[in-house]
Amino acid sequence: MTKSPFENLRVIDSTYVFAMPYAGGILGDLGAEVIKVEGPGHLDIVRGGQFSGGFPENDPGTDYWNRSASFNLLNRNKKSLTLDLSKEECREYLKELISISDVMMENYTPRVMRRWGLDYENIKKIKPDIILISNTGYGHGDGPFSAYPAQATTQEATHGHCYITGYDNDIPSKAGASYVDFLACWSGLFAVASALRYRNRTGKGQWIDIGMYQLGVMGTAEYIMDWQSNSNKSGRFGNRHPWRTPQGTYPCKGIDQWVVLSIGEDSQWNDFCEIMGKPNLSSDDKYATLLSRRANHDELDDIIAKWTVQLNKYEIMELLQSKNIPAGPVFDSADCNLNPHYKETGFIERVEYPESRNMGTRKIMGRPWRGSKLDARIRRPIEPLGSSNSEILKDLIGMSDKDFEDFKSQGFIAEQPTTIQNVSPVPLEEQVNLGRLAYFDPDYKTKLGI
């Protein structure tokens, strides 16, 4: 029988953007009761604007703050509580909630929780076995960067990734879409599970202090070690590899279609030449050995591209992998959503929204792992903003009807933002013309089966 490991766990999620909101969403997948806490005037910025990821049918509706694609992905399963934590009266009720919860998640700069009296030393007086997880750019402590606010999109520079990412003789580049946020998510989940195990054994809580800077630096470990050991400061070399040759991304048949391949041994090179129909290349002095291939990589790239552009990217993958040559097609978002392997493994999950939400049925990314005896699934969409205000404040922690109405009248709690933005999405056709989208598919629902 499968089990939900965290079904009796209550998590207070006072976090924003990607890293910890996604960790909270996955805790909900595992059965936890997760309560998303936001101030009516300080909503999670992923609800709208640049981080929203768009809206269903590109329509923000009359409540855009509940419809953002990214927000709904990251915050699935959660209850929604609005509470203006800049007000001491609201923090007192948060403390009541802490006293009956198991985990608190926050990603403010270190000074905020200290100023509010909600740092670990203070909240463990409220709940001695509480587990507090703090996610910041540079961690707490006395380091010169500790007080700095940060986000993953800029931190890739400070932990060294930008310096080694990019093309030869070109500028430093980002690696992708804020991937360090997701390192923080996975690390946070592991740390919470470890802390819960420790609490089960000892009865004691603990503080988990995550610094995303350190997580990113761990991803550059071999470059740091190379400098420490050999005084080598590595540079940028695009899609190539320090020794595997040829390696790169090559154009395939169709518009903006690509395949990646990597050859590390002479035997693979010989097989690759046979597959391309150019067996003589394998004995050519310019390409016969690894060193000679490295010296002539640019010429090889031209030869390979003239072959790959004639074939479908999946054909190339099949041909090369049949000879144990690493190769794979470059997926765009449509490829990922429609991939039969993802579908078979249940990675893309179906989420039904109540009719009143006007969101329909959506496909949402699940988790990159499964457990044979683990009940892990998206249980429900996040509810509309502030939907659990009464349930949590009045029924769970005993706020009086009078205080509840007073809080509403003062704007301390609400079911819509204090300030409503004018959200006017750019038409999809225009986004393609502007280069923001490669293309869009009007028939995407049929293809997704929704």
CATH topology of domain 247-332: formyl-coa transferase, domain 3 (3.30.1540)
Does residue 153 carry a pLDDT above 90?
no
Does residue 177 carry a pLDDT above 90?
no
DSSP state of 411: T
Q: Report the Cα 355 to chain-centroid distance in Å.
A: 28
> 83 with 412: CB under 8 angstroms?
yes
Name which of 82-96, 183-197, 208-222, 395-409 the model is least confident about: 208-222
What number is the average pLDDT over the span 377-405?
Answer: 96
Of the pLDDT bands very low, low, confident and very high (cuts 50, 70, 90), residue 291 is very high
Q: Report the Cα 139 to chain-centroid distance in Å.
A: 19
What is the predicted pLDDT for the residue at 423?
Answer: 86
- The 10s digit of each residue's pLDDT in 274-288 is 999 999 999 999 999
Chain position carrying tokens 């099949």: 318
- The 10s digit of each residue's pLDDT in 351-375 is 999 999 999 999 999 988 888 888 9
Query: What is the three-class DSSP state of 81?
Result: strand
Please tell me the pTM assigned to this model: 0.91
Mean pLDDT score of the chain, rounded to an integer? 92
Question: What residue segments make up the domains of the chain, in order of their start?
Answer: 10-218+346-448, 247-332
What is the predicted pLDDT for the residue at 42?
Answer: 93
What number is the average pLDDT over the span 224-244?
Answer: 89
Contacts of 354 (CB under 8 A, 6+ apart): none
What is the predicted pLDDT for the residue at 327?
Answer: 97
Neighbours of 374 (CB within 10 A): 16
What is the predicted pLDDT for the residue at 244?
Answer: 93
Does residue 383 carry a pLDDT above 90?
yes
> 269 with 276: CB under 8 angstroms?
no
CA distances for 118 relative to 26, 184, 268, 395, angstroms: 24, 22, 59, 23
Of the pLDDT bands very low, low, confident and very high (cuts 50, 70, 90), residue 130 is very high
Does residue 139 carry a pLDDT above 70?
yes
Backbone phi and psi for residue 22, each to the nearest 5 degrees, phi listed first: -70, -40
- The 10s digit of each residue's pLDDT in 28-79 is 999 999 999 999 999 999 998 767 888 999 999 999 999 999 999 999 999 9
Is the sign of the CA dihedral 180, 186, 190, 192 positive or negative?
Answer: positive
Query: What is the three-class DSSP state of 361?
Result: strand
What is the predicted pLDDT for the residue at 200?
Answer: 95
Domain 10-218+346-448 is in which class? alpha beta
CA distance 236 to 227: 15
Chain position carrying tokens 């910890």: 20
Does residue 11 carry a pLDDT above 80?
yes
What is the predicted pLDDT for the residue at 1?
Answer: 57
